[in-house]
Amino acid sequence: MKISIIKPPMPFGWTPVAPPILEYLGALTKQAEPDAELQLIDGSAAPQAPMEAEGDLVGISILTATAVSGYGIADVLRKKGTKVVIGGMHASALPEEAKKHADAVVVGEAESVWPEVLKDARRGSLKPYYYGERLPLTDIPTPLYGQLRGRYRFRAVFTSRGCPYNCTFCSVKQFFGGDIRYRPIDDVVRDVEAIPGSLYLNSDESVWSGKLQRAIDLFSALKGGKKKWLGFGSLGAVESPQGDVLLKAAQESGLITLWVGWDALSDDGLRAYHANGKIGRNREDAIRKIKDHGIDVSLFLMLGGRADTMADFDRTLDTADRLGVSIHPSLVVPYPGTKLYEEYDAVIDKTMGWEYYTGSYAVFDHPLPEMTKDVRERKFYEVSLQLLGLRRLFRHLKDMPFAGFPAAHMVSLMSQLPVRQGMKIAYAKWKASRGPTETTGLN
């Protein structure tokens, strides 16, 4: 059986991270069907390739931002007579919508149902829906790190699933559950050793959520390896009594950059998102503590929420400079399947399709009259392009902990320059959509 697995193109271009879903779902496919002829297609790296996919079965994994392009790919392939199955977070949130474009939809995690999907496809008897169970994370195959070719700088490994927090903007808990499930440490070490190159990404929601001793044990098992890595982490763990031991073990295991969800600048914003539980008591002190352990920090920040003001946009640059960190902002996106989508439902602009759910468009109304959609979008680009200006990017290199030199400094540029390029593409599209009107004059 010939099988193609597609990740639709991301809205604003290619990134240096090999799509984990392709390499991982490819491994699950080979585990269930060792003789399958397998093709992995990254639409961001090869935009025309998805439309030309061939196979007895094509699997497409979609996020909300890629739903429209994913549905378009599926429609083209089905017209050619190809059987298409769609999965991913967006399809799991809106399975009936996805089914309009697919022969079958996988809802939830794939491990428990993917072998059944492949078996049914071989028989020509696909079911409309397959509902995945949340299984223990044992017997997970090593991703097909060598099969997806391209100019990728990072491969990804995951070590756990689930999130105990209740942030209203996030779909992770709804998708993976509130109880954290862990992979065996030996399996994680095996996968890390299989990753080509000297850099990798830990794609966990947080590299140390849940049992901190388990994280310390994992980092200790990775100590002595030659690979450096990046990951996502919450700040509450850093402020715990085990914080120093945790950070020391993480740094010794190769952690050079931690991406942190800052979420909102104001306390009111954090409370509105129910995100203050994961932040800890003093998040600025936690950032300094991470940097003191030789780990660089990048913050993810949402702007333009209904509890935000214009001052939050203006404070972003000051926060980046004061803390000596890079910041990657986005406009707030109420993704389907989240509590925030339910809260904002009455004020969401339903004329805007999923292609606008990229973090660069205002898709809902704001209670403050000065916070119009156009103003929020304009201020977002103004702040983002200043944060990603070359002078600021290179100045940040001086603020980074020297313990990570030179790997962390190279990674900072390797990760931020594509984001800068993507932001410029997004800004150009935004300006073009407004026609010959006044613009910010940013370059």
pLDDT digits (tens, 9 = 90+) for 51-83: 999 899 999 999 999 999 999 999 999 999 999
Token pair 């639709």 is at which residue? 8
Residue-wise pLDDT for 174-230, tens only, equals 999 999 999 999 999 999 999 998 999 999 999 998 899 999 999 999 999 989 999
Are 229 and 270 within 8 A, CB to CB? no
Domain boundaries, the chain: 2-131, 155-433
| CB neighbour class for 423 (10 Å; exposed up to 12, middle 13-18, buried from 19) | buried
Residue 356 to residues 66, 332, 406, 434: CA-CA distances in angstroms? 10, 12, 38, 15
Secondary structure class of 409 (helix, strand, coil): helix
CA 336 – CA 247 distance, rounded (Å): 35
**Residue 32's pLDDT is what?**
96
CA distance 344 to 277: 21
- Cβ atoms within 10 Å, residue 133: 9
Q: Which of 167, 177, 82, 91 is nearest to 129 (CA)?
A: 91
**What are the residues facing 25 on neighbouring strands?**
none
> In order along the chain (443 residues), what is the average pLDDT of each group of 10 residues?
95 84 97 96 91 94 97 97 97 98 97 97 97 95 90 93 94 93 97 95 93 97 94 93 96 96 91 86 93 95 95 94 93 96 97 95 97 96 94 88 84 84 86 65 43
Q: What per-residue confidence (pLDDT) applies to 435?
A: 66
Helix (H, G, I), strand (E, B) or coil at 285: helix
Q: Print the SS3 string covering 45-76.
A: CCCCHHHHCCCCEEEEECCHHHHHHHHHHHHH
pLDDT value for 441: 42
- Res 437: pLDDT: 52
State the CATH architecture for 2-131. Answer: 3-Layer(aba) Sandwich (3.40)
Name the β-bridge partners of 263.
Answer: 301
Distance of alpha carbon 407 from alpha carbon 254, whole angstroms = 10
Q: Is 296 helix (H, G, I), strand (E, B) or coil?
A: strand
236 vs 30: CA distance, rounded Å: 39
Residues 55 and 11 sit within 8 Å (Cβ to Cβ): no
Query: At the fourth CATH level, which superfamily is domain 155-433?
Result: tm_1862 like domain (3.80.30.20)
Residues contacting residue 290 through CB under 8 Å, at least 6 positions apart = 238, 247, 258, 260, 297
Report the distance separating Cα 319 and Cα 358, nearest Å: 24
Q: How many residues does the chain have?
A: 443
- Tell how far CA 90 is from the center of its chain: 13
* 411 φ/ψ angles, rounded to the nearest 5 degrees: -65, -40
The whole-number pLDDT of residue 355 equals 94
With beta carbons less than 8 A apart as the criterion, state whether 86 and 102 touch: yes
pTM: 0.93
Mapped onto helix, strand or coil, the DSSP state of residue 302 is strand
Do the bridges between strand 199-202 and strand 84-87 make them parallel or antiparallel, or are there none, so unpaired?
unpaired
Report the pLDDT value the prediction gives residue 146, as an integer from 0 to 100.
82
Within 10 angstroms of residue 433's Cβ, the number of other Cβ atoms is 10
- Structure tokens belonging to residue 41: 């297609």
Helices 390-399 and 407-434: angle between axes, nearest 10 degrees:
150
